[in-house]
């Protein structure tokens, strides 16, 4: 009486396990590959103001954060205003920095001592963009770099 069940039992169990594995794998990939491309609201563009101190020899944002080790992060379409101030505490024989975001700005902007320069950009494509000083400002000038990360 119970003979058919004992014969087919293992195959039914194996098929069930396979089915669960298949569905599980499908759901796993679905959440990582299919969903992000089709679901989720687009980024709403923001007005962002970022204060930057161009010192010798780094670009510090929000007062103390080195843009070289900690990128400034914005999104495509954001209206990003940089307020840049230059200081020359390590070597006062210089009095000019240059502010340039490669791949985003057309030309560098000169930032003289004791003056605040305002630059507004609207990134149009995602990526990592280098911020560099374009005017020689002392021995550490080559280290005066930073990164602007633009997210989609």
Q: Give residues in contact with Cu ion (CB under 5 A).
A: 97, 133, 137, 144
142 vs 152, beta carbon nearer Cu ion: 142
78 vs 148, beta carbon nearer Cu ion: 148
Q: How far is the CB of 93 from Cu ion (least distance, A)?
A: 13
Q: How far is the CB of 74 from Cu ion (least distance, A)?
A: 22
Q: How far is the CB of 144 from Cu ion (least distance, A)?
A: 4
71 vs 94, beta carbon nearer Cu ion: 94
CB–CB of 148/72 below 8 Å? yes
Q: Which two tokens stand for residue 75?
A: 């999104």
67 vs 137, beta carbon nearer Cu ion: 137
Distance CA 86, CA 63 (A): 12
133 vs 150, beta carbon nearer Cu ion: 133
Contacts of 72 (CB under 8 A, 6+ apart): 50, 61, 131, 146, 147, 148, 149
> Phi then psi for 79, rounded to 5 degrees?
-95, 100
Q: Which two tokens stand for residue 110?
A: 């000169």
| Distances in whole angstroms, Cα of residue 90 to Cα of each of 8, 23, 58 | 83, 63, 12
CA 82 to chain centroid, in Å, comes to: 16
Q: How far is the CB of 45 from Cu ion (least distance, A)?
A: 30
């Amino acid at each position: 009486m119970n003979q058919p069940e004992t014969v087919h039992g293992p195959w039914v169990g194996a098929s069930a396990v396979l089915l669960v594995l298949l569905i599980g794998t499908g759901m796993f990939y679905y959440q990582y590959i299919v969903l992000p491309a089709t679901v989720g609201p687009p980024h709403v563009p923001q007005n962002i103001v970022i204060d930057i101190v161009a010192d010798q020899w780094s670009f510090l944002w929000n007062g103390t954060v080195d843009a070289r080790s900690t990128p400034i992060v914005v999104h495509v379409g954001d209206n990003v205003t940089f307020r840049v101030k230059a200081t020359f505490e390590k070597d006062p024989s210089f009095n000019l920095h240059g502010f340039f975001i490669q791949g985003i700005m057309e030309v560098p902007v000169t930032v003289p001592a004791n003056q605040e320069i305002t630059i507004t950009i609207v990134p149009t494509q995602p990526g990592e963009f280098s911020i560099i000083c374009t005017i020689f400002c002392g021995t550490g000038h080559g280290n005066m770099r930073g990164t602007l990360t633009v997210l989609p």
